[in-house]
Amino acid sequence: MNRRSREGRTILEVLVTLLLLLLVFTVSVDTFRSQVEVARWTMSIVEGLEAARTSRWVVGTEVRAGQPVRDWAVGDDGVVRIRAFRATGVACGPPGPDGAVPVRYRGVRAPDPARDSVLLLGFDGRWRAAALTESDSGEQVVCPELHAGEEGAWRVSEELGGWVAARVFESGSYHMANRALRYRRGGEGRQPLVGETFGDGSLFLRDGRVLEVRVEIEGREPHVRDPAWAREWRIHPPEG
């Protein structure tokens, strides 16, 4: 075999090797891209399931804290409007000269007259709604130790001739909108409570005294949204 033939064969072998390396590289890149897409889709489903669990806990806790019919409702627009209870107080003495009632209370936060109202339990055993007009810290309040919680003094708009207990609530609403569970307090904007992972089929429904919730979880792919998963549950309020 002459020198020219050997050189030509060597060049051919190099070209074949480079072609094989290019093929292996292309297959590796495609495999990696596919793995990344699968991982992205899987993570989006995991995030969606976590958002669904959080939504179930949040909405379920709020609905079970109230009573059917009176404290929450689902409108034709699919929005859950609710009295979101934030604290419970017990009157621990008679009203003062200014009409403020000493209380011991506990809850997720301190009462705020700017955004809260109260349900008052009167001596006649009936609950009545009223505005919370003033809530002072308990520096000058002395309550019996048998009542656990923080001390305070509350003034309300309703004259009941005395009340024994109160439930503090804010008026709010839960929405399935813009791919997330969102909460609106009063007339404020809707704030997302979970990541934006839900599909357009997510909604609230009411079946008698039961709240039905459907969550559609979208798996994110590079150029499409795949509504691959759905979760449904029924929230049963307390009897009453």
Instruction: Please give the pLDDT value at position 233.
Output: 81
Q: What's the pLDDT tens digit per position in 8-54? A: 667 666 666 667 777 776 766 667 676 666 666 777 778 888 888 89
Domains of the chain by start residue, with CATH: 82-170 (2.40.30)
End-to-end CA distance of the chain: 101
How many residues are given for the chain? 240
Separation CA 215–CA 202 (nearest Å): 4
Query: When comparing pLDDT for 94 and 140, which is higher?
Result: 94
208 and 73 Cβ atoms separated by less than 8 Å: no
Label residue 204 exposed, middle or buried (CB < 10 Å: 0-12, 13-18, 19+).
buried
Q: What's the pLDDT tens digit per position in 165-204? A: 999 999 999 999 998 999 998 878 899 999 888 888 888 9
Residues 45, 50, 51, 56, Cα dihedral to 10°: 130
Number of CB atoms found within 10 A of residue 214's CB: 16
Angle, CA 27 vertex, CA 24 and CA 32 arms, to 5°:
120
Q: What's the pLDDT tens digit per position in 102-129? A: 888 988 888 999 999 999 998 888 888 8
Judged by average pLDDT, the poorest of 79-83, 206-210, 235-239 is 235-239
R_g over Cα of the chain: 31
Residues 91, 94, 97, 101, Cα dihedral to 10°: 0
78: left (phi over 0), alpha (psi -120 to 50) or beta: left
174 and 77 Cβ atoms separated by less than 8 Å: no
